Structure 1
Amino acid sequence: MKVERLAPVVTSLLPSNHPYLNGAWTPLHEEVNATELEVISGAIPTDLDGVYLRNTENQVQQPLGRFHPFDGDGMIHQIDFKNGQASYRNRFVRTRGFQAEQEAAGSLWGGLADPVQLAKRPGWGAHGSLKDSSSTDVVVHAGKALSTFYQCGEGYRLDPLTLEQEGLESWVPIDGISAHPKVDEATGELMFFNYSKHAPYMHYGVVGPDNRLKTYIPIPLPGPRLPHDMAFTTNYSILNDLPVFWDAKLLERNIHAVRLHEGIPSRFAIVPRHGGEIRWFEAAPTYVLHWLNAYEEGDEIILDGYFQEDPTPQPHKEAPPGFEHMMAYLDEHSFKPKLHRWRFNLKTGETTEGHLDDRILEFGMINARYAGRKYRYAYSTVAEVGWFLFRGFVKHDLETGESSQFILPEGVYASEAPFCPRIGAVDEDDGYLVSFLTDENAGTSECILLDAKDIAAGPVCRIRLPHKLCSGTHAVWAPRDMLAGA
């Protein structure tokens, strides 16, 4: 393996016993370019052509307060597959907040678990006092990578091949963009929403394949809300108003405390893609971090996602002192997300819903060519008990109801695993799942490829990476023909 190491960033981070600043969540501060990667087992497929991008959270400066893993600075990791070869590189996202803290050689903003008074400067997003770390998601649209922040940030563009920084996304409105903009590969359009603490509290927009804003409309809500994700079909976008949001009385005192509001149903807005009459549907109260897919079938819109059975769990009794609340909200086994299906009947206005699986699952992926369209296969992650870490994957055949799984050895943790179609693929599941692993037993990281038709068989290829990655949230696969300059 040939490794080129870049100039180090300025860091003031001190050793800590914080559970999310150690182990698989130990921040990585090194940026490299690596070629001639070592193949540990198997062979890199020759029918795979594109890039896997993963966003991670890596705290660079000493926290001003309690620190939450979502506060960490965004870092994009990329592995590029072509002609049976692979190369790797990683870069911090040079947000305005990151650059300011580099100049100050220390933190300027508190985090999600801190009072707003800790911030030394005005912040970003719906919260208003947080640093936009652009560390949540990464998508590829109009040939470029776009990184995002979980509470409505500015959006940062990067070259998906070189990870060269291209700065702020030009079309982003003043209220920012949410963590999860959605790309329709069939049309090249990107759909997004944002939310804020001022009326109308939510907006929705569409950006064309030319990277120009085409649609931007209000979605009026009763007050400030905390939606995290959205979905789309061929003709509609689906937004949500869920009953887990900031306590209004505490918010008057600038305290951002989230709670479940009893007696309020979940609401779903069905919006024509480019604007028009908004249809609202009600459903059982819950919170949903991530949707899987949606599509139209006759008079119905089908929406699949991860229904939380206990969206505001009790604090962890076995967590280290001071971390009981945070650990519970990061543990899927506490808030219990289940793969769930909603059906919205556009003719009758009725909603029907129910679980598709009773296992605790989240962070699902599909073949992106089927996004917004009827699909058959889904790939969800399995979480480590007590932690925000992934232990493996479950493949669902939504047509037959069958499933299979791949579970990693103890102490080895995965990242979100997008589906990568083979060159010339015909079947929906003809391709690979790609994931970065962090092996706490060996102190190393690697990239694995699973045959999507048989994930239970284990990796068809394992590739050593030049350093141990910090854990994080989301990832994307982009085939070569979606990349500018490829």
Structure 2
Amino acid sequence: MSVAVINEFESRIPPNDHPYLNGAWTPVTREMDADEMEVIGEIPQDLSGVYVRNSENPLFEAIGTYHPFDGDGMIHAISFRDGKAQYRNRFVRTKGFLEEQKAGHSLWAGIAANPAKAERPGWGARGRMKDASSTDVVVHAGEIVSTFYMCGEGYLLDPYTLEDHGTAGWVPEEGISAHPKIDLETGEMLFFNYSKKAPYMHYGVVGPDRKLKHFTPIPLPGPRLPHDMAFTKNYSIFADLPLFWDEELLKAGIHSNRFHQNLPTRFAIVPRYGSVNDIRWFEAAPTYVLHWMNAWEEGDEIILDGYFQEDPDPAPLDIPGVDKRFGKLLANIDENSFKPKLHRWRFNMRTGETIEERLDERLLEFGTFNQKFAGVKSRYAYSTTTKPGWFLFTGLVKHDLETGDSWSLEFGDERYGSEAPFAPRVGAKDEDDGYIVSFIIDMKEDRSECVIIDAKDIAAGPVARVILPHRISSGTHATWATHEEIAAAAH
């Protein structure tokens, strides 16, 4: 193994019992480069591209209670070419990260703390937060775009070296949320943001030339907490979900989520370059949805798949050995508590009717699919399963949405995965002709690895396991980009 430590940072987090600062969530302090890594099995010659994952890595003791989504963004990337792999990891050099490095301590309060405790003005839909850029990651126009769930500036990095390219110049005043969407067919990036001031949501389109092409309000009745969007070939889809800040408490400056179970879930469907007057609104059963899968047009209907939560505001958890003060925090990010299930919404653009259908009764989330089918009808979907009580991925489920068949893979005892995107095989002929790629944290072996799984036979387990130079921290989202996509966007 050829390894170089590029930078090593000092952690100022004292010993603690926080469940998301220890174990598989122990923060990483080293930035490293590695190649010629140990491989168990053989890296496929027809795997060609870059797997990129975001994660939360705090370096300072939090102001108030630490929430795992507060940590500084760290990008982990592994590039595959000709049966070989190269690994890199870097902190996202956000403005907040750099300022806290200068100060030597935390300057901003996180989601579980009172924003008034922040020492400086900040960013985000809630206000006075740090834009940690630690939530989502996509590759657009040949660059990594790292984003923050509460809306931030959008940070750019080189997909191979992870060199800092600064912030995206087109980002509007309210920032951009996590989960911008990439249309590989057009090269466009679709995004949204949200805030506490009217009209409360905006939607935009960035062209393959990295310039803002379209920006329009999506008016909502008040401050909301959307997390994701979806798109079809001709439309973009946004949700007004009935889980949002309690209005009365918000007047007192308290940001406390409440599920308004008497309100419907509302969907705004707008032509890709449409404006306020073009929005079609649909209503559905009340729920909260963290993540959508895919959406497409079929006759008069728009079909949307995602994860319907049966208990969006779950009761606090009581886990043996874990301080009870973390109970609500634990429940809010535990799939066994909020109970997400793969679900389908059908919106009839002629009649205005919404029809809903449950696709699976298992608890599933963090779905991926072949991005070449984004916005058009897709057959295969890949979801994660989790450890009860924890935000830790334990396995995968592949769905054939045409036949209803499914196949499962468990990562193994005390082995926790990452969001696992689909990587098409070079010269792929079928939608599922490719690989599923994920980082694994193996707590028994005290190491991390990158697993490569044949998407046509996920139950068979990895065809190759690349041993990383250090044990990385668990995290949130990941993406895949082929070398061809990156090269084409550079011209």
Q: Specify if TM > 0.5.
A: yes
Task: Confirm or deny: 8 A CA contact 2:7 2:32 kept in the other structure.
Answer: no
Q: Which whole-Å CA distance do the structure 1 matches of 2:282 and 2:188 have between them?
A: 25
- Residue-by-residue CA offset, 1:68-107 (whole Å, 9 max, x unaligned): 0000110000000001110101000000000000000110
Q: Does 1:334 align with 2:337?
A: yes
In structure 1, the residue matched to 2:5 is 5
- Residue-by-residue CA offset, 1:273-332 (whole Å, 9 max, x unaligned): 011400000000000000000000000000000000000001113352210110111110
Which aligned runs of 4 or more in structure 1 are off by greater than 6 angstroms? Answer: none
- Residue-by-residue CA offset, 1:123-155 (whole Å, 9 max, x unaligned): 111010211000001000011000000101110
Q: CA deviation at 1:408?
A: 1.6
Task: Confirm or deny: 8 A CA contact 2:10 2:29 kept in the other structure.
Answer: no
Q: Which whole-Å CA distance do the structure 2 matches of 1:242 and 1:262 have between them?
A: 10
Q: Which whole-Å CA distance do the structure 1 matches of 2:476 and 2:115 have between them?
A: 24
Task: Confirm or deny: 8 A CA contact 2:381 2:400 kept in the other structure.
Answer: yes
Letter in 1 for 2:399: H
In structure 2, the residue matched to 1:61 is 60
Q: Does 1:308 align with 2:309?
A: yes
Matches within 5 A, 1:467-482: 467-482=470-485
- TM normalised by structure 1 equals 0.99
Task: Confirm or deny: 8 A CA contact 1:178 1:193 kept in the other structure.
Answer: yes
Q: Which whole-Å CA distance do the structure 2 matches of 1:37 and 1:368 have between them?
A: 28
Matched length: 485
Matches within 5 A, 1:29-178: 29-39=29-39, 41-178=40-177
In structure 2, the residue matched to 1:243 is 242
| Aligned with residue 321 of structure 1, among 317, 320, 324 | 324
Q: Does 1:346 align with 2:349?
A: yes
Secondary structure at 1:13 match in 2: coil
Q: Which whole-Å CA distance do the structure 2 matches of 1:398 and 1:262 have between them?
A: 30
In structure 2, the residue matched to 1:408 is 411
Q: Does 1:265 align with 2:264?
A: yes
Task: Confirm or deny: 8 A CA contact 1:9 1:102 kept in the other structure.
Answer: no
Q: CA deviation at 1:116?
A: 1.3
Q: Which whole-Å CA distance do the structure 2 matches of 1:302 and 1:280 have between them?
A: 14
Q: Which whole-Å CA distance do the structure 2 matches of 1:244 and 1:181 have between them?
A: 21
Secondary structure at 1:183 match in 2: strand
Task: Confirm or deny: 8 A CA contact 1:11 1:105 kept in the other structure.
Answer: no
Q: Which whole-Å CA distance do the structure 1 matches of 2:481 and 2:14 have between them?
A: 37
In structure 1, the residue matched to 2:437 is 434
Matches within 5 A, 1:195-234: 195-234=194-233
Task: Confirm or deny: 8 A CA contact 1:157 1:168 kept in the other structure.
Answer: yes
Q: Does 1:483 align with 2:486?
A: yes
Letter in 1 for 2:4: E
Q: CA deviation at 1:35?
A: 1.0
Comparing 133-142 and 9-18, the one that deviates more? 9-18
Secondary structure at 2:228 match in 1: coil
In structure 2, the residue matched to 1:24 is 24
Q: Does 1:463 align with 2:466?
A: yes
Q: Which whole-Å CA distance do the structure 1 matches of 2:269 and 2:202 have between them?
A: 13
In structure 2, the residue matched to 1:255 is 254
Letter in 2 for 1:2: S
Comparing 279-288 and 314-323, the one that deviates more? 314-323
Task: Confirm or deny: 8 A CA contact 1:11 1:106 kept in the other structure.
Answer: no
Percent identity at matched positions?
63
| Aligned with residue 371 of structure 1, among 370, 374, 377 | 374
- Structure 2, unaligned stretches of length 5 or more? none
Secondary structure at 1:357 match in 2: coil
Secondary structure at 1:249 match in 2: helix
Q: CA deviation at 1:15?
A: 1.6
Q: CA deviation at 1:262?
A: 2.7
Q: CA deviation at 1:16?
A: 1.1
Secondary structure at 1:333 match in 2: helix
Q: Which whole-Å CA distance do the structure 1 matches of 2:403 and 2:175 have between them?
A: 41
Letter in 2 for 1:429: D
Q: Which whole-Å CA distance do the structure 2 matches of 1:466 and 1:206 have between them?
A: 38
Q: Which whole-Å CA distance do the structure 2 matches of 1:423 and 1:171 have between them?
A: 33
Letter in 1 for 2:318: K
- Residue-by-residue CA offset, 1:16-40 (whole Å, 9 max, x unaligned): 110000000000011001011110x
Q: Which whole-Å CA distance do the structure 2 matches of 1:33 and 1:321 have between them?
A: 39
Q: CA deviation at 1:10?
A: 4.2
Letter in 2 for 1:3: V
Q: CA RMSD in A?
A: 0.9
Q: CA deviation at 1:472?
A: 0.5
Q: CA deviation at 1:8?
A: 1.8
In structure 2, the residue matched to 1:292 is 293
Q: Which whole-Å CA distance do the structure 1 matches of 2:137 and 2:268 have between them?
A: 25
